[in-house]
Each structure stands twice: as structure tokens, then as C-alpha cells.
Structure 1
């Protein structure tokens, strides 16, 4: 009791902190060691969690809500905390305001997905805390050789950590390593060797010390290693046939598996190799002494050797030796330095009318569905006739990695802005389709503006008197008037009697709006720093001509907003078809923001769209093309997500149509019942 009084008298603690300490004291946590306790837990909280802790705080555990549930009294709880409270309490009521919960709500509480999305949006970019604390060593502080730490399970280099990276190139650098990136001032020469893959990594020839392919599916592959991992590989020095990755069961703790159990596909690293093939990008090739079937593999004295730059001229899929399909790549050498096995003093030279190897042509005849992908006519890495050497015919691809401490760039800033805006759209009112003002969360899990909900049911009484007006006919007792939810038709009559504004949700909406404004400013600053236009996507191909019909978004914002506002004002706030009208108006508003050029120019705009966009426009012809393009841009080209959103919108419209039809039938039935009652009353008077 003295400890509780001491907590209550402590002026440095807030009410929430006092409640947490009282709960810890009553549950016996006061006897636990101080190390690693609440103070350490508070320190490990991320900044977004601290920002939302006072807003979306569970009324039971006083922590940030996990799977938030909003009660009819507008207090928020964790789903597990709410279920435990209901199961343990005799009286089903809110622990904060003592509002009683209905049996239906207690049996099936709904997670407030809008709050869950908001919490997730605030956590974007926050560092993930590891369960096991460890110290990350900076590259500049690492030794020159690979080393082992106390965390190593096995001796030797099996669990060794990489030494310092010697070269000053990013992990996604294409082509040879120049002298400017080498501290020795020579660059990585053909024939240079290392004792293992860890040392090879330090000098940038091939960064992954286990994986055989280094690359990114959206950029291409930078390097590969020939180490005898696949029996389908064939090495002929100046050219070789390389097998892609995948197709093997590595579940559990398996590091390798020689059995090919399923087909390989052009995904992940295989897609990176395919992209390098299509663009004609240079790929560094490293050979390992573990390749025992090749005459060009290094000996045990030079275990890992750099053999120069190759290009992938063809790629395809064919049945492998074990049966399942494998991805195959034809590499051809194109380096300015002579190969380690060559007796010539010059590098590779392009020969006029050179034919592909006969072995590769035979394999291509077995390609799956006859699909063989070829290198483009103007490869990025080609022969420069004026200099008589191999080099870049186009500017090399820019690195996607940034040094530590630099800005994450406009792409990351735009992604954060997109996530924040997506979270803000989750708080759209189910009636006016705008961001909620003085939000109210219904028991069915939908959010509305308090004013919109009041105006919707302004003329609807809670009860209506029944019965006829005939003399001598007994009146029916009062009948409860249904007040269906504008979205799902759940009866809200009992809820609306004491509906209150959800202050926590209003605060979250306010913080989201501030975060969106800040994210826009960050995106503009990052774009300005990179020489881009704020909010614009950088084109992958400079040859694509922009349409003259496309206008800057800023020039037409006012006219589009006025048009959308007129559409929203035209939709009635009450009546059976108000939700349908608001939904159509919302689609009009989104379309206006996404596509200024529409109407008769739809066919021309469609002809300029990518194939995925054309297919979506044809499949969902009842939606505006501009809306579909805006959704694709918002979802970063995710066709499946856009299809889901469009199908959901179509289903909502169909549901509203069925609802109107049902209400029409009920209205006609009530009229028929009234006519029959009047007829019976008339017959009774005549009798």
C-alpha cells in the first residue's frame, strides 16, 4: 500500500505511467531484476511508437494497440486484451468509462483496419530492433582479413566475418573495376586470384561469398561464379553455358542440395541475368577450383580467379539433366585483357559473321515453348571501333545504393509519401468519401463523419407508431425504426443514441495529415537534390516521347477539384442510393486527379499505354482509364493489387444496386399491406 501511495505522489509521472507502475506492482513484476526492465524497454521503442503511444494507447495494457479494436464508446483496445477482459469479467463493460457492451460485439469484435494501416504507415523507415543485441562493425573499422568473432559456431572460415572492402565501388557496380576505385591504383586485373570467396569479396570481383549470382531483378546481374554447382554447366573458356539458380529444396537449414526437384523460372537472380542479356550489360566472371569438369578452372594454388568480363547473348529454358526445367545462359567473353589461358597478348576481338557455338544451338532447339531471348541490337557494353576496345556505348547504370549518412533519395521519399497517403485514404467517410472530420467508428467497423451520420438519419425517428386509423380497430404497438449502416446495412439505431466522436482517431488523422505534408516536402527536397521534378517518376527510356495532351497536375488542380466537389454535392446525403452516388462521385474525383485527358481521347491514350494497362482497361471497361492508370502508379505497377481494388469497387456498386432493388420490393410490399388493411377496415365498417 505504501508503494502505491508513493507512485501516486510522484509528480514526475503521468497518469498513464502511474497506471503501468501500479499494474506492474500488483502483478508481482516489482520483484524482477532491474536490468532489462521497463526502462530498457522504453529505450528500445522506435520513434513512431513513441509518437503514437499517447494517441492509440490500449485502455487495458497501456501500450500501443496491436490489432486495434474500437468499442462503441470510441475507446481503443488490443484485440487480445479485449478478449481477455471479456472472458475474465462478469460485467461486459468498458474498463475506462463503464459503458456496457452488447453480447454481439463481445462475441465478434471487429479490428479497426484504418487504425492498423495508420500504425503501419507511421512505422515505415523505423529501425527494426533485434532480439539479440550485437554490435555492427563499420567497414572502415574491419581488419584487412576475414576474422571470426565470439558468435562463430564453427572454427576456421566457415563462420568468419568479412574483412574490410578494399575497393570504393558499390555492390551493384557493372563492368570491370577501374583503377580509380582500387587503393593500389591498378584496378582488378584479369588473372588476379584470392585464396577464398571472402577475399574475393573484399576486392569487389564478386560480393556474395556464398551465392553464385550477384544482381538485382530490376537492374541486372553484375557477376557470377563458376564453381561446379550444377552438372548442366559447360565451360569452353571464351564461352560457357551457365545454369540459373533455384529449383532445389533448401527448406529447413539446408545450405545446398544437389537434387533438382522443381522447375526454375525467370525470377529473382534468374531475372537479373535475363535483364543483363536483354540489355547487353557486362558481367564479371570468377572461376573457382571447385569446378572439376572444366579445363579452364583454376588450380588449387589459385583457388578463386577473376577471368574478365562476359556478355550474355542468349538465354532460354530447357529440361535439365534431372528432368525439371532449368534456365540456361550463353556467356561470351568480351574483355580488353587476354584470358589467363590465352597465349595472345591482346584481348577479345569481335569477328565479322561470328556464329554461335553448335552446342548452344542444339540446346536452343529444346527450349521450352521455343522461347529464346536474345541480346538487343545496341548493347550497353560493346565494341568501340574508334578506340578499338570494349567499352560502354551508353552511360553505365546508376547505382541504387547510397553511402551511409546520405539521403535515401526521391524514390524512397515518394514511397513513404505514397504509404502515408494510402493510410490517410483508409480514413475516408463512408458517406461523403472525404477524410473524416470528428470521426465516429461504428460497431460494424466503418468510419463516418459525425455530421454526415447525423444528417443521414436526421429525419428518421427511433420508433414509429403502428396500426390503422379505423374506429374500433385495435392499434398496433410502437415499432422500432431501423437505421442501417450506409455501407453494410447493419442496424445502428442503438449505437446512434449515444454515438460519440473518436478523439484518438481524430488525433491520428491529424498526425497523418501533418506527416503527408512533411513527406511531400521531403520528396520535393530529395527530387531537387537529384535534379528531378518533385513527384515525377524518372523515365527508364529517354527515347519515349511524352504526349502533348499530358498537362502538369498543378495547372488543372482547381478545375478538377471544383468538378469533383460538384459531383459530391449532387449526391444526396439520405436515401437508398446515396452510397452509390457518393461512390461514383469518388471515382470521378479520382479519375479527374489521375487523367486530365479523357473522354473522346480515351482510345488514343489507351494505345500509348503499356500492355498491362491496356489489358486492365479492356477488362474493366466500366471504369475510367485515368483511374486505372492512377491506381497502377499508386501501387507501383502491382497489377494484382489494382485488380483487387477495381473488383472491390465494382462489388460495392453491385451491392448497392441489389440493396436498392430490395428496398423497392419492401416499399411496394408495405404499400400492398396498407391497401389490404384499408380494404379490411372498409369491409368491417360496411358490416
Structure 2
């Protein structure tokens, strides 16, 4: 429908009707007049008709997202093309344009705003700055619509209970056989982060668990029984939780296998660019990060690690034969870990594994299990002497230890790590609370873009300066309060008027002319209000789900990440979504970071202390207390309807259970309900205090203070003596005589 031009008389009639309408506020009248002058009256009817025509066909969710786009479209339209701004530019008069439309307008010799006829400053017209905050808001509004379109192909997800007993080939497979096979049904009920042996309680089919010496024809079958979940990566674990299992398959030439103990090489250090699956050449040093950090965590805590040997290890006498390709050999502990130069001269991470299982090894003729011994073999001692850097050792109070009362290996009291629970069907239930938190995080991130660069708070009556910075109008007025535009003459004769400069708080550009006629950016105000409303709504929904007792999302065995740089040879399972971390904005430093090669979900209940405890070399006998216990079940939060900030209070109380509810309420009232500022305050309070200074540093500080005090006293005495005119010459004479005697001597 083409827009129809409106005559000048019709415009005047419309303006009079708007001014006479008593149901409208002054702000609404001003907005309607502005829309009338900008020509938006011509697109209003079209938008409404399109809404009605699309409502019969479009689904409800798509209608909701289109409503959000329409709302933003009204607030962020370009005043030249009347479309949603592309690379938005905000003029000093606070009107928005596309960057291309603005440049085209200026190239035509038009140096005034097409809406309000305000002149553009020469610097701004020559070099306009893109408003990144508005660009982020537009991008955020467009993403949900793109997400609703879905992938180009629809793949049917198969639940664990409906999968066959062996690996199978789907329609998506490119190659025949097991090269692109999908995993079969998981036979055990252990979660991905289960530590230690797999007992009968996890085996509902056979009621015997996974026995030492049990073998499978390949890694995919081994995965089905939970001995080692990744079918390509050699290490399964999480950097802030520990490693659950490893595979000895001959991938590193530095490995040394002696059965009851072996020296294991960490992952990484090889160039896998160009879609390489493996590379025998070591091109850079290995670091204690990702999977290597997970093994170090298991070392310092004394956690058990399941060990699987493959027939591909040709140098070991303890490797299985071709008839038993993949074999489970029990659990081991890591006594030491260090870094040393490898055979290819680059530093590699080394780990000393020692067997500690109740069942005899497959190669052993003894009837009982292993005996506890903490002695380091001579071969390992020789390598430790060549270690580059710290040597990390197992604590003297390990989590998996020898129990004298039971005469067997088992978990120490209170040291068993908590693992994620797995749903009975094997599939992940939808977690509405987690999706709400993700949505809340995205909206908070968008709102963070609309921050004043003076007070660092959310913009209140925003102004966009010609130099491209956002400030609150009150902040700029307060900063330049008392500074006039021109300097008062300081002589009887009035000379040329001198102007005062009002520098921008960020880039020092002069804002004197801009502040004289500065107007609040109403479009930006509307976007900020909409984002705040979305955040408040998400908080209320999250609090409601919390009260209804929503459980945390389960763990799916079908999902797995590969070791750093390793690509899977078989087809990934039928999973269309990957589990994402529950991290708030700005909290990446506070939470333990999960590695790229994690198998299973990231443990969100581990604190920073638990993830950093292994970073200290345990040369002395300092026994850590094992993994941190899981938090108590979240209590139902009863929100008070009379409370002004009930939704924000419920959300913050669930995030910070250690803080008093009334304290959080008072902080919300002080900050006028700004949840971002209150969350930042609570996180700052949770940060650990600085370490006290050493005695040597304290002594040096005292000496410096005494020297300064003595120096100041000497200066005071000299000033007191110099004030007396009679004594000053005599003192100078005495000083000259003394200096002359010193020269003679």
C-alpha cells in the first residue's frame, strides 16, 4: 500500500486534534506530533493491516516476536528511508538515521536534520559515529525471529531407551560401517562425570556392573558401558571437576606402561589445523589447561581414574590383543604430575598413574586386589629431576584411599564428589528456568550497552553527543554546573567575547554548542524501558518456576565434546542442541571455567576455591578436603505481592543464598530497583580479601615512614632557624668554616 501525501492544511487539522485530545499526556502529544511530521501516519495503517492479515496464519510465538520487532521499528526508524536503522547513527538533535542514508543526505549538500531542521556540526557530518548500543538492541530483537526458522534440515532425536543395543548407521551417515556410526543405547545409569568403578547398582540389565578385564570390540561399545565415554578423545573429564577416565592407545611416544603403574602424557602441543585429526609432530609446549588441568585436579585430590587399554598400543606388554581390542583394567590414582622436555624437545605434561583397584589386574595371577604403596618408581624419579617448574603431588588425605577397617579400597568419609543426576529415559528434559536465565542474561547484556559513560549506570534521559558517547542529561548538567558559555569580561572596556569550553568526559571534545540545545533521545528511552520490562518479566517467570519446584536440567549421555583438536570419526549423535553454561554477565572470573574438551555438562555447583585449590604445588603435606559438597536444595521463595521489587528480590535471593534477604531488599531500594548494580555489589562482597603483607614488607614500610618523618623534622628546624635574621648569618659562617676544615683535611 503506497503512502498518500498529506496537505499542509490536513497536517494542521491533525495537530489541532492532537492538542485538543485530553486523554493524551504532554509526552504522548509530542510523540504523535513528531510522528505526524515525520510521515509515520502513512505507515501506521499498513502496519496494523499487516498484523491482522498475518495473525490468521502466523503462529503465536512468531506473532509475539514480530510484535517486538514492530515496537522497535517504531522507535528506531531511520528518518530518511523510514525503515529499521541499518548501522544506526544518532545526530546531535537525537534523531536516528542509517549510516548510508545520512552520508547520502550530506553528500547532497543538506546539512540540517530532515525532521527538526537542526544544523549538523561540521565534524559530525564529516565523520559520523555508529551508535553501537542501538545496533545491539536491533540485533537482539532480530535473533529470535531467525531462531524460529530452525535448521535447514529437521533431524529426529532418538532417546536413549529407543536406541538399539549396538552402534548403528543413520540416514545422515556419509560413509558405511562404523566410520559414521551413531552410539547405541547406554547400558548403565552412571552420569558422564561419575568417578570410580561402575558397580552393580548402575547396571539394571546384568546387575554386575563393569568388571575388570571386560572387553569390547571398539570404543563405541566401550562408551555404551560407561567405562570411557568419548569415542575419540583419550581423556574424559572437566578442568574444574577432575578426570574420570583415560585410554592408553599409543598416541604419544613418551608413554611408558608397566602394568601396575605407567607414565602418561597429556594432550595438546600438536598442530591440528587444516582439519587434521592427528599429528605425530609436537610443535609447541603443553600446558596444564583443559584436559591436562582435569588430570592435575584428580592428582591433587586423589580421585580415582578408570583406565582403558587399547590394542593400538604396540610398545606395551600389558596392552590387549587384537582378539580383545578395548579392555577395562580398573581404577588408578595419579601420585605425581609435572612438565618436562619430551622426545621432540617440547615441554609435555607427565602423570604417574598407580593402580588401586579391589579386583586383580587382567595380567596378574594373584587373587586379591592391589596393595597401597606410595613409592615413586625410579624411572619416574629420574623424570621428576628433569621437571620444568613445579611438581604436583597427591594429598596425604586422598578421596579414594585404602580403608583398613574394610581391608579394601573405597571413598574416604565425606570425600566422594557429587555428580550430575541422569534422567531415567536418558534424554534431557527441557529446562524452562535455564532458558529464562539465558534470555535474562541476553537482555541484561543489551541493557548494559545503554550505560552512561560518566556514572556507569543505566542511562536516564540519555543524550548522544556528536563525538559518539552516551551520557545521562543530569550527569552532564551536574558536571558543567556553574560554567557559563562565555567568560565574563575582567576589564572596564568590553573586548571580544571569550567562550568557555565544556570538554566531553571521555574524549575531551567541546560540547558547549551541543549542550545549548541538547534534547533527550526519546527513541533510546523507549528501548531502555522495553528492555527493563523484559528483564522484569523474565525475573517474575524465573521466580515463579522456582516456587513451583523446577528441578535442574538432567545430563544426556548423547552429548560429548572431543579432546582439544580431535575430530570424531563417527557421526555425532542426534542432538540438535548443546547444553550451555549458566553464567551471568561479568561472572566469568568468579566461576571455574570449563574446558573445550569437556565430556558431559559443566559442573555449575563447584566454586572458585575448588577449581583453584589444585594450582598450588603440594610439596608439603597439606590435605585438601576433596570436592566441595553440593548446595542444599533451593527453598521455595515466597514473593510478597506488596513488595515493590518482589521479582528482583526473588531472583537475587536465589542467586546469592548466603546473603540476608532484608539486606538485598535494602540494596534494591537504595539503587531504585537496578538489579545490575545490586548484583555487582553482592559479587564484590563475595570476593576474597587481599592477603596480608609479609613481615619484611611491613618492616620496610616502617623504615620508609620513619625516614620521611625525620626528614620533615629537619626541614622544620631549618625553617625555624632561617626565620631568625640574626642567627642565619652565623649559621652560614659556621657551615663555611666546617666545610673549609674538611677540605684541608
Sort the TM-score into its range (normalised by shorter chain).
Answer: 0.5 to 0.7
Cα distance change on mapping 1:591 and 1:260 into 2, 3 Å: closer
Q: C-alpha offsets along residues 106-137 of structure 1, whole Å, 9 cap, x if unaligned?
A: 44333435456667888999996876434252
| Count of aligned positions | 548
Aligned to 2:183: 162
By how many angstroms is 1:187 displaced? 1.4
The 2-side partners of 1:489 and 1:143 are apart by: 69
The 1-side partners of 2:684 and 2:661 are apart by: 13
By how many angstroms is 1:51 displaced? 9.2
Aligned to 1:191: 213
By how many angstroms is 1:255 displaced? 0.8
Cα distance change on mapping 1:127 and 1:527 into 2, 3 Å: farther
Cα distance change on mapping 1:224 and 1:135 into 2, 3 Å: same
The 1-side partners of 2:402 and 2:488 are apart by: 92
Q: What aligned pairs does 1:239-258 form with structure 2 within 5 A after superposition?
A: 239-258=261-280
The 1-side partners of 2:83 and 2:155 are apart by: 28
Q: What aligned pairs does 1:25-424 form with structure 2 within 5 A after superposition?
A: 53-54=72-73, 57=76, 59=78, 68-76=88-96, 91=110, 101-115=120-134, 132-135=152-155, 137-140=157-160, 141-184=162-205, 185-351=207-373, 354-369=374-389, 371-393=390-412, 394-399=414-419, 404-405=428-429, 407=431, 424=447
Q: C-alpha offsets along residues 584-632 of structure 1, whole Å, 9 cap, x if unaligned?
A: xxx9x999877789xxxx9x953489x9xx9xxx9xxxxxxxxxxxxxx
Name the SS for the 2:178 alignment partner: coil
Name the SS for the 1:606 alignment partner: coil
Segments of 5+ residues of structure 2 without an aligned counterpart are 5-40, 553-583, 585-589, 591-604, 611-623, 629-657, 702-745
The 2-side partners of 1:48 and 1:350 are apart by: 68
The 2-side partners of 1:131 and 1:61 are apart by: 32
The 2-side partners of 1:397 and 1:52 are apart by: 49
Query: Are 2:403 and 2:410, in contact at CA under 8 Å, matched by a contact in 1?
Result: yes
The 1-side partners of 2:479 and 2:329 are apart by: 75
Point out the more displaced range, 493-502 or 191-200. Answer: 493-502
The 2-side partners of 1:308 and 1:514 are apart by: 56
Aligned to 2:715: none
The 2-side partners of 1:126 and 1:232 are apart by: 52
The reply on whether 1:483 has 2:502 as its aligned counterpart is yes
The 1-side partners of 2:155 and 2:404 are apart by: 52
By how many angstroms is 1:66 displaced? 7.1
Query: Are 2:189 and 2:422, in contact at CA under 8 Å, matched by a contact in 1?
Result: no
Cα distance change on mapping 1:161 and 1:558 into 2, 3 Å: closer
Structure with the larger RCO, 1 or 2 (CA within 8 Å, 6+ apart): 2
TM-score normalized by structure 2?
Answer: 0.61
By how many angstroms is 1:70 displaced? 3.0
By how many angstroms is 1:250 displaced? 0.5
Name the SS for the 1:317 alignment partner: strand
Cα distance change on mapping 1:356 and 1:454 into 2, 3 Å: closer
Point out the more displaced range, 492-501 or 47-56. Answer: 47-56
By how many angstroms is 1:327 displaced? 0.3
Query: Are 2:190 and 2:422, in contact at CA under 8 Å, matched by a contact in 1?
Result: no
Point out the more displaced range, 111-120 or 131-140. Answer: 111-120
The 2-side partners of 1:356 and 1:435 are apart by: 59
Q: What aligned pairs does 1:577-656 form with structure 2 within 5 A after superposition?
A: 605-607=689-691
Segments of 5+ residues of structure 1 without an aligned counterpart are 22-37, 545-550, 566-586, 619-687
Query: Are 2:242 and 2:294, in contact at CA under 8 Å, matched by a contact in 1?
Result: yes
Query: Are 1:240 and 1:331, in contact at CA under 8 Å, matched by a contact in 2?
Result: yes
Residue 469 (structure 2) aligned to one of 435, 446, 470: 446
Residue 14 (structure 1) aligned to one of 47, 69, 72: 47
Query: Are 1:465 and 1:476, in contact at CA under 8 Å, matched by a contact in 2?
Result: no
Name the SS for the 1:362 alignment partner: helix
Cα distance change on mapping 1:217 and 1:56 into 2, 3 Å: farther
**RMSD (CA atoms):** 5.0
Q: C-alpha offsets along residues 407-458 of structure 1, whole Å, 9 cap, x if unaligned?
A: 4889x98898777666655544455554332222212232233344456557
Residue 459 (structure 2) aligned to one of 436, 441, 451: 436
Point out the more displaced range, 129-138 or 117-126. Answer: 117-126
Cα distance change on mapping 1:361 and 1:459 into 2, 3 Å: closer
The 2-side partners of 1:373 and 1:494 are apart by: 65
The 2-side partners of 1:291 and 1:168 are apart by: 30
Q: What aligned pairs does 1:508-527 form with structure 2 within 5 A after superposition?
A: 508-517=527-536
Query: Are 1:467 and 1:477, in contact at CA under 8 Å, matched by a contact in 2?
Result: no
The 1-side partners of 2:482 and 2:261 are apart by: 82
By how many angstroms is 1:43 displaced? 5.7
Name the SS for the 1:248 alignment partner: coil
The 1-side partners of 2:360 and 2:236 are apart by: 24
By how many angstroms is 1:469 displaced? 4.4
The 1-side partners of 2:145 and 2:2 are apart by: 37
Query: Are 2:270 and 2:282, in contact at CA under 8 Å, matched by a contact in 1?
Result: yes
By how many angstroms is 1:552 displaced? 4.5
Name the SS for the 1:14 alignment partner: helix
Query: Are 2:62 and 2:145, in contact at CA under 8 Å, matched by a contact in 1?
Result: no
Aligned to 1:571: none
Q: C-alpha offsets along residues 492-543 of structure 1, whole Å, 9 cap, x if unaligned?
A: 23333443322332233324434554566677778886999xx999765797
Query: Are 1:48 and 1:126, in contact at CA under 8 Å, matched by a contact in 2?
Result: no
By how many angstroms is 1:199 displaced? 1.8
By how many angstroms is 1:334 displaced? 1.1
